[in-house]
Chains A and B, each alone.
Chain A
Amino acid sequence: MSVHGCQHLSAFKAAKGTDPFRIIYSYFIACPSADARRIKAKSCVCHTCRQPTLRLHACMYCIYFGCYGAKHIHEHAKSKKHNLAIDLTYGTVICFSCEDYVYDKDLEDIARSFSQKPSLNLVSEYLKDPFSSWEPSEDELQLLKKNPKRRKVDAKSTVGLRGLINLGNTCFMNCIVQALTHTPILRDFFLADRHTCQMPGESKQCLVCEMARLFQEFYSGICTPHIPYKLLHLVWTNARHLAGYEQQDAHEFLIAALDVLHRHCKGTNGMSCSNPHLCNCIIDQIFTGGLQSDVTCKQCNNVSTTIDPIWDISLDLGPGPPAFSSHSTPSPGGTGFTNSPGNYEPTSLLECLKRFTRPEHLGSSAKIKCGKCHCYQESTKQLTMKKLPVVACFHLKRFEHSTGYHKKISTFVSFPDELDMTPFMSSSRNDNNGFSNQIIQDMPTSLSCDNKYSLFAVVNHCGTIEVGHYTCYIRLHKDQWFKCDDHMITKATITEVLNSEGYLLFYHKQILEYE
């Protein structure tokens, strides 16, 4: 195996130049246009057996395609003494005299120039950023030389685990910081150094920069607890309502933190071209989902749809209104799912989600003006997920602030470590109000993994509505769980996690779509 070509290839290049390679590459491998693809589809068959086989190779000397598996290209090379051919799948050159593929810098440069060519074409979208391994640039090589220490991350390493000192009732912040720093995709973003500060000159005021520093601290390998005083100060200055040493709500902090991060990300970050209303900052890319609300007029069945961006899904606990009539089938295998009025208390995340996405009758006191019949009518409203976020945070409303009384709901609500959101998608919504029950029943066997999530962090609250303490479970690697209690980190099991009370549940999409 040679890295610098071979004498046969050098002789070929000296005699004929690189044009034969370039032509074959552009017409049959890069295929930048629909025309080229049509030609490729028609002509890419073995000239001997007439089959569109795998590993088809093209002779570099004459017009001949032959398959590698049945050795037709080998026979051709031998009989015609044409010893060089190109693999039509990958564009690599094989030399039959050397009996192996050869790698030549000139040819690789040509191949790269094709794959980097911007094109409006559909197919070449993937070519703009083809799958290729990382090649360090000059600067990066320098940096690597300067920092010779390497840390290997394997399935048992605990890099990324670090306690956080409580700065005076700041456990509400610590648990969210733990959840955020262990959000896989957010971690990848920050550790890849992808943030460019949008507040030049005052980067000390930028919360995103502070997050970047925090990630550096967490993944530096240091085990002693970190003191997040800078972060706290930034939070105090940017979210005034959280300032002071009082106990705060972790959910409120999460939303405030996301909001400040989102604001500090913006600036010249630009807008996503596909949707001008949607920001393409890292926070929105990860946390923003689309909540669809369909209001159906009872009179004319006209449906008016709105889609709102959301960062989290807040779910009601405790007894709620009775289920809507068209959706009264108890969930298969569900526990304690009753529909009798006033006694509808969800005991699992799925039940909460079912309640959340159930059509709701807006009574006669809440008439809405229908766009079609132009008068105020009774209607039903249903919420569904139009677009799923990469990271879904579920907020179980354990703190009830009703008129006159405040209380905490400590009911156990079970939640799975793997969650399929398919039944709660807008696409699963039936036209005649509500979901088809079939979809919900088919759920466990659902083939596609597109809407599947894995649990990676759980924030818990113990105590009462007035005083209490927040802790957090976080996942490392695929299945290692740890409990973070301010500066203390202890190993935990998935059973412990799933049996915990659960206040904020963080799920990560299993499979990411590429835009």
Chain B
Amino acid sequence: MEEFYFYTKGLTVGYHGVPLIKEVELRLKRGEILTLIGPNGAGKTTILKSMIRQLEPLGGVVYLDGQNVQKISGKDLARKLSVVLTNRVHPEMMTCKDVVATGRYPYTGKFGVLSKEDHRIVDESMRLVHIQELGPRDFSRISDGQKQRVMLARALCQKPELIVLDEPTSFLDIRYKLEFLSILQNLSRTKNLSVLMSLHELDLAGRISDKIACIHGDCVERFGTPEEIFTKGYIPQLYQMTAGSYDELTGNLELPPAEGKPEVFVIGGAGSGTAVYRRLQRSGIPFATGVLWQNDLDYPSAKALAAEVVEEKAFSRIRPEKLQRAKELVDGCREVICTLGEELEGGLGTELKELAEYAGLQGKLKTYV
């Protein structure tokens, strides 16, 4: 049997005796990253809180390093597990360094005075999260994103074996989202730190996590590797998406297509068409596009946004019937937009060039390169 560092057995969680999620079975090894995903209000935070002893579980047991977490003393638990929560903290008149230093609490003596070693660890944690320059600043006067990074440094200087984070990237801009997660990834690789967190960003969850758990309804609907989770059509079902679409492979997220018979035909490909598709969607104009190979960069957004996509199998020549179908669609449209230029001259582009010329003869062709 495999050795798990942090796992639950038949955990049931909820508030005031009312179960919200039942029979949670999550397993995390040392150095692994486990991410909880699921719609708003699904109970991700409730599960996390129950696993870190902030909330009394209604049933089942949580084990950390072979011990029932309910039986570990507060101090021992604090030395193994640290947290970054969504609770806003309002410490009074504390510098960022003071806030980070509170992470040393389980290690300091009766009066909480920091030793030289404690100071060194505080500085090291701040360097790791790149917030040295925030050190002397008043914690209440920095931005939410900066606060989040200070709280990560605080959690790290607690020297945990497991870190639990509730939606840690919510307030961060794109640079810090990546930086924040790459810090976690590094620590999990080099220091064998285990990470349990909830994320809203599915694309990031799919990239950083060793394991993903999907919370839906009253249970953990799926638990496994990202490849096992992100199967075709699962995410819209998990989030009960009613508008737009999500491509599991690329993480491409699109608004719903314009309704109706195509009015415009787009000849695109190699990533040149997507911007046009989105512009047409914004103006509410239904369109068709083709001929696109199934491995084309524009293919996911075309499938999400176009009324019809004339498509061809990857790496094959365009067959005459596909070209014929594209011409029929051109006949029905009032305008044809071609975003291709030199690409038409390549060996496989012959049919697309013919299609553009066909549209040109009808006086409908507009070229965007």
A and B co-occur in one complex:
no
